[in-house]
């Protein structure tokens, strides 16, 4: 049981970082190799311009999730720092509700797009067997993780409010 808890804690702390590192490294590697091939050998693979763009979906949405987890995404800290304590808490609750509503809308519509690509066997341009839905899946997955991160932050905010502790208003990406 302790091993499972340690694994879940590690996943909670590192999911976004690992996904961003893998996808960004893959993007950079493809672009680096293909630029060299294009300029030195006058050739390139057909998918070298489509795969990095599709990988960017993973970097972007999981990056948003990471920033929400760190409380650095759309925080409006300067405005909140000047508000009374109860108003700060009310803003955190409104933020959570708005994030969840927006996430549900995004998940609903991107699930349809992902399923449509899956159902139609959409292939990435320039490839023979790389499915588009593998890349489109990033959006509903990351937005589901965004909901989890928002709920985690809200739980922390509720606990801080009950204990009358100061809220985290000025977060850092380096934490």
Residue 13 domain flag: yes
Residues 113/84, Cβ–Cβ less than 8 Å = no
Cβ atoms within 10 Å of 75's Cβ, excluding its own: 17
* Structural domain that includes position 159: 2-163
Residue 175 domain flag: no
Please name the residues in contact with 42: beta carbons below 8 A apart, sequence gap of 6 or more: none
Residue 47 domain flag: yes
- The Cα 162–Cα 3 span in angstroms is 32
pLDDT level of residue 175 (50, 70, 90 thresholds): low
Residue 64 domain flag: yes
HEC string of 57-88 equals HHHHHHHHHHHHHCCCCCCCHHHHHCCCHHHH
pLDDT of residue 104 exceeding 60, the answer is yes
Per-residue pLDDT, averaged over 116-131, amounts to 93
Residue 93 domain flag: yes
Residue 131 domain flag: yes
Residue 171 domain flag: no
Residue 84 domain flag: yes
Output the CA torsion 92→97→99→104 (10° steps): 170
Q: What is the pLDDT of residues 133-159, one digit of tens each?
A: 999 999 999 999 999 999 999 999 999
Q: What is the pLDDT of residues 40-93, one digit of tens each?
A: 999 999 999 999 999 999 999 999 999 999 888 777 777 888 889 999 999 999
User: How many domains would you assign to the chain?
Assistant: 1
């Amino acid at each position: 049981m302790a091993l499972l808890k340690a694994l879940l804690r590690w996943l909670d702390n590192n999911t976004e970082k690992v996904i961003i590192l893998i996808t960004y490294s893959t993007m950079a590697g493809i672009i680096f190799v293909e630029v060299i091939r294009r300029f030195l050998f006058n050739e390139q693979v057909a998918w070298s311009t489509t795969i990095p763009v599709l990988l960017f979906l993973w970097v972007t949405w999981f990056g948003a999730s990471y920033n929400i987890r760190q409380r650095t995404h759309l925080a409006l800290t300067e405005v909140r720092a000047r508000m009374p304590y109860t108003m700060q808490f009310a803003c955190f609750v409104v933020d959570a509700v708005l994030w969840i509503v927006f996430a549900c809308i995004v998940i609903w519509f991107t699930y349809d797009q992902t399923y449509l690509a899956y159902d139609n066997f959409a292939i990435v341009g320039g490839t023979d067997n790389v499915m588009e839905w593998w890349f489109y899946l990033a959006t509903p997955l990351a937005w589901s993780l965004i909901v989890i991160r928002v709920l985690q932050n809200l739980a922390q905010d509720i606990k801080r409010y009950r204990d009358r502790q100061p809220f985290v208003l000025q977060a850092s990406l380096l934490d």
